[in-house]
Every structure is written in structure tokens, then in C-alpha cells.
Amino acid sequence: MTRLTCPGSPEVVALGAEAVLIKACFEGLPAIYKVRVRKPYRDNELDSLLIRGRSEVEAKILADLRLRGLNVPAIYYVDLGAGLIVMEFVEGVLLRDLIRADPDEALKHIESLGELVARIHEAGVVHGDITTSNVVVKGGDVYLIDFGLARYSRRLEDLATDLHLLIRSVESTHYGLKELLLRNFVRGYARVLGREFVDSLLLKVKEIRMRGRYVEERRVRGGT
């Protein structure tokens, strides 16, 4: 990632269907301004409630995890009515890019990611979009970012879906290293929540993946 020097000109870094991300400064600190996008096809009152609710959940989850000392972006400012969250810009290297540039170094960090995700799950939070593009390595530490789809849940199915999404991400972007990467991730995860829990979680992941394959096979065959 490029270094942001304050003060600096605001820069749009992502323009998605749900939110716009702008890199700028807040009180002299590098920050990300996340503004949720209004939907013109949706009832205005309902739209406001949804934006407010989703922004509140995301901000609360980030604040809760920071209070636990976990590596997620700090919250600087929140305006629920405007659907605005201003948070820390975590400056570092994306794990996705590190895996491509230095796989041996990346293996150490994905084990740390396993520990971090386990602690997030232990806190009753599901991230919802764990990919190597949402992990930043900063000064030797691993940070998980982009909690726009996060929610509170302790259901095994939801925790397993988090791991399923990571596996799909690794398979699609780092296929040649997937076995090593996932083995190291699981080692770090088990260090926090134990091997017995990990085994039950991986069984649920396998079930989710089999369901996905079944649905895809039916689609290809033209089934209903």
C-alpha cells in the first residue's frame, strides 16, 4: 500500500454496491471514510433504517474487538444517520500480495491470521468476508479489515462459513499453495480454540462445501 501523508487529498479507493471508501485524514491521522450508498429503488424510510442498522452493527463490532485488544481498525468517528464510519487506515502489505511475493514469509502470517480469526470467533463475531485481500500485514502483525458483512453469531454453521469463504479465496488466488496456507491457518486457529473444536468446525465446512457442489451439479444438469 502507498503511504498516506497528512494532510492529503481525499482519494476514492473503492466504489462498491454497498459503500464508498475514501482515503483521507481525520484529525491529522490517515483514515478510511466509509459511506454506505443509498438505494434509489428502496423506500426512503426503509433505506435509512437499513443503512443506520448496518453501520451501527459494524461500528459496534469493531469497537468491541478493539476493546479485546484484537487487530482490527480503530473507530475514529461515526454518524449513523449519514451511514458514515471513519476508521483507522491500516498501512501495510495485503496478505494476498505478500503470498505472491514471499510465500515463506506469508506462511508465518497466515498462522497468525488463524489465531486472530479464532479470537474473533471466540468473541461471538463472524467476519463474513475473510479473504487474503482483507488481511493487512503491518510491522509483523496481522490485521483483519472490512467488517461490512460482519455480525454477531456463535452458530457453528456461521463460523464454518467464515472458514469456507477463506478456503474459496485461497483456492481461487493461491491454488498452488492452498494446502500449506490452510494447514498453517488451522494450526493457528487450533492454538486458541483447541483441536477438538477445530475438527468439528472442519466437518461443518466439509458439509457446506458438499452442499455447494450438489447445488451446482443440479444447476448444470438443469435440475430444480
Q: Is 2 within the bounds of a domain?
A: no
Predicted pLDDT at 18: 84
CA distance 67 to 161: 25
Indicate the number of domains in the chain.
Answer: 2
What average pLDDT is seen over the chain? Answer: 89
- Burial letters 99-116, b for 16+ CB under 10 A, else e: beeeeeebbebbbbbbbb
What phi, psi does 16 have (nearest 5°)?
-105, 180
Q: Is residue 79 flagged as an active site residue?
A: no
What pLDDT, in 10s, does the model give residues 97-125? Answer: 999 999 999 998 999 999 999 999 999 99
Range of the domain at 210: 93-221
Which residues fall within 8 angstroms of residue 47, CB to CB, at 6 or more apart? 38, 39
Q: Which of 22, 48, 23 is nearest to 35 (CA)?
A: 22
Please check whether residues 100 and 44 belong to one and the same domain.
no
For residue 39, give Cα distances in angstroms to 1, 8, 21, 62, 129. 31, 30, 17, 25, 22
Residue 26: is it exposed, middle or buried by C-beta count within 10 angstroms (0-12/13-18/19+)?
Answer: middle
C-alpha cell belonging to residue 204: 461443518
pLDDT of residue 69: 97
The catalytically annotated residue of 129, 146, 158, 162 is 129
Is the pTM here over 0.85, yes or no? yes
Q: Do residue 74 and residue 179 come from a single domain?
A: no
Residues 98, 119 within the same domain: yes
Kindly list the distances between the CA atom of residue 60 and the CA atoms of 55, 86, 126, 152, 183, in Å, as whole numbers in the listed order.
8, 13, 13, 10, 32
If asked whether residues 119 and 139 sit together in one domain, one would say yes
Which residue blocks in the chain are alpha helix, DSSP H? 44-67, 95-101, 103-122, 156-173, 178-193, 195-221
Confirm whether 201 is domain-assigned.
yes
pLDDT digits (tens, 9 = 90+) for 37-96: 888 788 888 888 989 999 999 999 999 999 999 999 999 999 999 999 999 999 999 999
CA distance 108 to 131: 16
Provide the pLDDT for residue 45: 85
Residue 115 shares a structural domain with residue 199? yes
